[in-house]
Every structure is written in C-alpha cells, then in structure tokens.
C-alpha cells in the first residue's frame, strides 16, 4: 500500500508540473511553484524526486503516457488502413486535456535543445512511437492493405514528423479557421493502399507482385 501511495504521489507531482509547464513555460517550473500547486512544502518533493530535472522528465512521461493511452484506445478498435486517420487524429491536441499534454511536449522540445538529458528523453519517446506506428504499417502489409514495397519504418517516421508539426501548429493556433490538418494525411494513406484504393498504377502493381 505504501508503494502504491508513493507511486501515486509521484504521478500527482508529475501532473502538477506538467500543467505548470504547459500553462506558463519551463521557466515557471520551480520547486517552489510545484510545492504551491501541490499544497505541500518544498522538502516533501525531495522524498519523491531527486531534483527539478527528474520532475521535468516525469512531467514529460506523464504527458506521453496519456497520448499513448489514446493511441492504444484507437488501436483497440482494430487495425485497418481506413483507421489510420482516426489513429492520427486521436494523437493530436483536440481538447483542453490533450492541449496540456502537447504543451508539455512543445516546451520540452525547446528545452532539449540545450539540455542533453531532456534530449535523451525526447529521443526515447520518438523511438517508442516510431516503433508503434511501424508495427501498425507492418501489420497492414501482412493484411494485404498496404503495399509490400513500403518501408514501414520510413513511413512511421514521416507520420511522426508530420504529426508533431500539425500538433504544434494546432496548439499555437497557426491553422486557418476551418482547416482540418488530418485531412492532409489522405494523400499519404492513398499512396499506401493496395487494391482499387491505390492512387497510382505502381501501387497496384506492387500489391499484385
């Protein structure tokens, strides 16, 4: 029970830090501001984390975990080429909670430019997501829905790069009114398809090879 309480308290501190980062930026994150948000003393934080850097890592892990949970829920509905767009949409900021998660990611990207430890956390997160999306593409190839000549890892990386650009643009309000960023993936999805949905003859030929 003590272990459960300890882990729960760490998660609460990580979430409080994440919300501070998303709302006010990395400079606003201090042990004092976290303690104030948690309604506890600064000394209490040292029982759960070794310092501010560890809290930053935990805050990013909290945000990433929640995004990955949404992806997992989208994947639980089944894997098909037609479900790729809903999968992408599930990962992007679309409500208050997901905007908080993406806000943490945006600030960590900036922070990672000058902090090797933060950059290592970011690389690990990107590799984990690339592996997840790559496995989805491979599964679709096995199901005969995606062209076998596609480099699953390369497509997964392109999707992640695009998702980050779209996510940050949505977070910062850079899209024009009425714009649906996910619709841009229709071109990519069409190029991945096997069968009659393929846009080019080369795609159909590859599927029939």
pLDDT tens column, 139-174: 999 999 999 999 999 999 999 999 999 999 989 989
pLDDT-derived band at 209, boundaries 50, 70, 90: low
Distance CA 156, CA 91 (A): 14
Give the model's pLDDT for residue 1: 39
Q: Over the chain, what is the mean pLDDT?
A: 87
Return the structure tokens found at 20.
Answer: 């501070």
The strand pairing partners of 146, in sequence order, are 193
Buried b / exposed e across 1-25, counting CB within 10 Å, b at 16+?
eeeeeeeebbeebbbbbbbbbbeee
Question: What confidence tens digit (pLDDT) does each residue in 95-125 have?
Answer: 899 999 999 999 989 888 888 888 998 999 9
At which residue do the structure tokens 């984390």 appear? 49
pLDDT value of position 203: 46
Kindly state the percentage of the chain with pLDDT values over 90: 55
Q: What is the pTM for the complete model shown?
A: 0.82
d(Cα 131, Cα 13) in Å, to the nearest integer?
A: 29
Is 13 within 8 Å of 58 (Cβ atoms)? yes
Q: What are the tens digits of pLDDT across the range 128-141?
A: 999 999 999 999 99
Predicted confidence at residue 201, as pLDDT, reads 45
């Amino acid at each position: 029970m003590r272990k459960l309480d300890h882990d729960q308290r760490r998660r609460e501190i990580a979430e409080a830090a994440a919300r501070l980062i998303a709302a006010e930026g990395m400079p606003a994150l201090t042990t004092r501001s976290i303690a104030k948000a948690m309604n506890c003393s600064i000394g209490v934080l040292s029982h759960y984390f070794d310092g501010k850097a560890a809290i930053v890592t935990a805050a990013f892990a909290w945000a990433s975990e929640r995004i990955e949970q949404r992806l997992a829920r989208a994947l639980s509905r089944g894997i098909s080429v037609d479900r790729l767009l809903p999968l992408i949409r599930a990962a992007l900021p679309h409500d208050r909670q997901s905007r908080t998660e993406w806000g943490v990611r945006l600030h960590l990207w900036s922070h990672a430019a000058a902090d090797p430890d933060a950059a290592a956390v970011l690389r690990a997160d990107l590799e984990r997501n690339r592996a997840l999306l790559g496995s989805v593409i491979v599964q679709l190839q096995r199901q005969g829905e995606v062209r076998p000549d596609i480099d699953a890892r390369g497509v997964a990386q392109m999707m992640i790069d695009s998702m980050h650009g779209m996510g940050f643009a949505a977070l910062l309000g850079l899209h024009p009114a009425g714009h649906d960023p996910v619709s841009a993936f229709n071109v990519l999805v069409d190029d991945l398809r096997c069968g009659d949905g393929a846009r080019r003859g080369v795609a159909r030929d590859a599927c029939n090879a």
